Amino acid sequence: MGERNQHGLGRYVPQEVRRKIRSRCGFGCVICGLAYYDYEHFNPDFKDAKEHNPVGMTLLCMQCNQKRARGTLSAATVARANDNPKCKQQGFASELFDFGPGPIEVRFAGVSFIDCETLIQIRGVNLLSFRPPEEPGAPLLLSGFFPDVTGATTLKIVDNEWSAGDDNWDVEVEGPRITIRRGLGDVALQIRVHPPHALAVEKIDMEFEGYFLKGNEETLSYSMDGKSWSKLTSVGIQGCKVGIMFA
């Protein structure tokens, strides 16, 4: 973070510049579409840059960034990808959750689920569910989706691969945390991964099939009208076929 180039420009990129880059690139690496990324100067390279100008910056995953650092990926190739980002082509950025073969704890706001087949079910639809590994020693497989308060899906998971659509207002991945926003300061979903045994939904604000769910790290609140709320705090559910069912 303390590194500066010949013009005295530091590595820190202002938040508003980061958001512009994320939005333009579709929230993932412009070359391969992976959702774990770095902010990279390419026109000009960081060593020659005098400012963090989003026009000359892009998103590259760690592997593609290493290729740039090693001189095996040219600025011209990055520029072409920046003009037609992979995530914009396919409509989403994606990555894999790193889960092990043992029981996975999912902390969904104020509720902790361990060794449950279906965590939350709403009107017969599984919001989050696990299935067994496909072979001995392989990881458990998580699938599900997270809508926002309008019912639009912000993030979906299919067999441990998560994807976030480029139609989201903002998707930020920083360290182990994924944050999806509907607008400035308006968080629809925040997830933190704790590989290989846990995943935490730290913030959620959603509606699905007439049920509203809202939560932080301490409490999960639910409502059928968005006005009268019930709360679940410090609840543990273990070894159930269906953890919570909203009929």
DSSP summary character for residue 4: B
Largest Cα span, the chain? 62
Which residue spans within the chain are E strands per DSSP?
Answer: 37-41, 57-61, 92-96, 105-108, 111-114, 118-122, 125-131, 141-147, 153-158, 161-165, 170-174, 177-183, 186-194, 198-208, 211-215, 219-223, 230-233, 235-238, 242-246
Q: What is the pLDDT of residue 134?
A: 87
What is the pTM for the complete model shown? 0.93
Q: What digits encode the pLDDT tens for the residues 57-112?
A: 999 999 999 999 899 999 999 999 999 999 999 999 999 999 998 899 999 999 99
Answer whether 188's CB lies under 8 Å from 181's CB. yes
Which of 136-140, 160-164, 209-213 is predicted least confidently? 136-140
Q: What digits encode the pLDDT tens for the residues 123-134?
A: 999 999 999 998
Average pLDDT over residues 112-138: 96
Q: What is the pLDDT of residue 2?
A: 57
Could you tell me the two tokens for 147? 């809508």
Q: What is the pLDDT of residue 40?
A: 94
Q: Within a 10 A sphere around the Cβ of 3, how many other Cβ atoms? A: 9
Given CA atoms 102, 106, 110, 111 in this order, what sign does their dihedral have?
Answer: negative
* Bridge partners of residue 95, in order along the sequence: 162
> Of all helices (H) and strands (E), which one includes residue 124?
none
Q: What digits encode the pLDDT tens for the residues 202-238?
A: 999 999 999 999 999 999 999 999 999 999 999 999 9
Position 1 confidence tier, pLDDT thresholds 50, 70, 90: very low
